[in-house]
């Protein structure tokens, strides 16, 4: 019989959480959640990107991928994998760090404090735009729509995921928490992805150009508008695919992040 003072065996998650420390584990959990998401949803991302860039229907984009074959399905996955694992890791980690710093300076954390932390954390993804481009001058093409999208959407995501989860049936097991985290993340991701979809279209259109002068945001938006015959429906072409991809992506990211975080406590 072991004495009471004998140390108990810790699980791998608890050991890793202790090794990383409270400051680093949010970055690691966010990065691993993003990696899981990219691997699971990259084929959907390819369909969506072709719709945003060329304005084709989902069926035509799928047929293009079918003609190219399964061997090329994950071609080009490395840049988004590097970008997303880094940017999502930064988003979650910086949100926690900035929330802690602002709480220390401002006292009781409130909506304004958490929103400011979320906006700054979301804006940090703009630094990762270079992973999508090649050539020094091309690094930050498409930066403006990223800035316009990330700050407000991150504030909404971090501000609403807790209240949405509280409205769901109370979780009494790890599986229940996993489902609730998936649902809250999925609902927010799909809603925000649809609201900000035109900004993604402008970003894709701006980054489709290499070389030459940088066109202002409004000029690129006007170009896309006229190319699609001034039709709001055509501007949102691909939004339904984006909705389902965002539903799946942010459900996976939020559920995986919270699952890993609980395992490291």
Stronger pLDDT, 140 or 218, i.e. the higher one: 218
- pLDDT, one tens digit per residue, over 69-103 is 888 888 888 888 988 898 899 999 999 998 888 87
- pLDDT, one tens digit per residue, over 109-163 is 677 788 888 998 888 766 665 665 565 556 677 778 888 898 899 999 999 999 9
Fold of 18-264: Mitochondrial carrier fold (1.50.40)
Token pair belonging to 219:
């000029």
Which of 68, 33, 62, 34 minimizes the C-alpha distance to 48?
62
Phi-psi region of 229 (alpha: psi -120 to 50; beta: other; left: phi over 0): left
Place of tokens 């000029």: 219
Q: Where are the domains of the chain?
A: 18-264
In order of 3, 37, 46, 224, 235, the CA distances from 53 in angstroms are 67, 22, 11, 9, 11
Place of tokens 């939020």: 254
Which of 165, 164, 157, 167 minimizes the C-alpha distance to 250?
157
Token pair belonging to 46:
């390819």
């Amino acid at each position: 019989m072991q004495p009471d003072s004998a140390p108990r065996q810790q699980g791998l998650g608890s050991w890793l959480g202790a090794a990383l420390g409270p400051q680093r584990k949010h970055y690691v959990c966010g990065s691993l959640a993003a990696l899981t998401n990219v691997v699971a949803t990259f084929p959907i991302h390819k369909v969506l990107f072709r719709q945003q860039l060329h304005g084709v229907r989902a069926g035509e984009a799928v047929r293009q991928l079918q003609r190219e074959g399964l061997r090329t399905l994950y071609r080009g996955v490395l840049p988004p994998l590097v970008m997303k694992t880094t940017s999502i890791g930064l988003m979650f980690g910086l949100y926690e760090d900035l929330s802690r710093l602002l709480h220390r300076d401002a006292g009781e954390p409130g909506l304004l404090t958490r929103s400011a932390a979320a906006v700054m954390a979301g804006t940090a993804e703009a630094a990762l735009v270079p992973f999508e481009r090649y050539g020094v001058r091309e690094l930050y093409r498409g930066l403006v729509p990223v800035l316009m999208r990330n700050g407000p959407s991150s504030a909404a995501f971090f501000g609403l995921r807790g209240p949405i989860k509280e409205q769901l049936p109370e979780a009494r097991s790890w599986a229940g928490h996993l489902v609730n985290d998936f649902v809250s993340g999925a609902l927010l991701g799909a809603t925000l992805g649809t609201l900000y979809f035109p900004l993604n279209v402008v970003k894709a259109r701006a980054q489709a150009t290499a070389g030459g002068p940088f066109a202002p945001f409004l000029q690129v938006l006007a170009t896309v508008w006229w190319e699609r015959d001034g039709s709001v429906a055509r501007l949102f072409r691909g939004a339904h695919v984006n909705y389902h991809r965002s539903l799946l992506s942010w459900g996976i990211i939020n559920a995986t992040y919270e699952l890993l975080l609980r395992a490291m406590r």
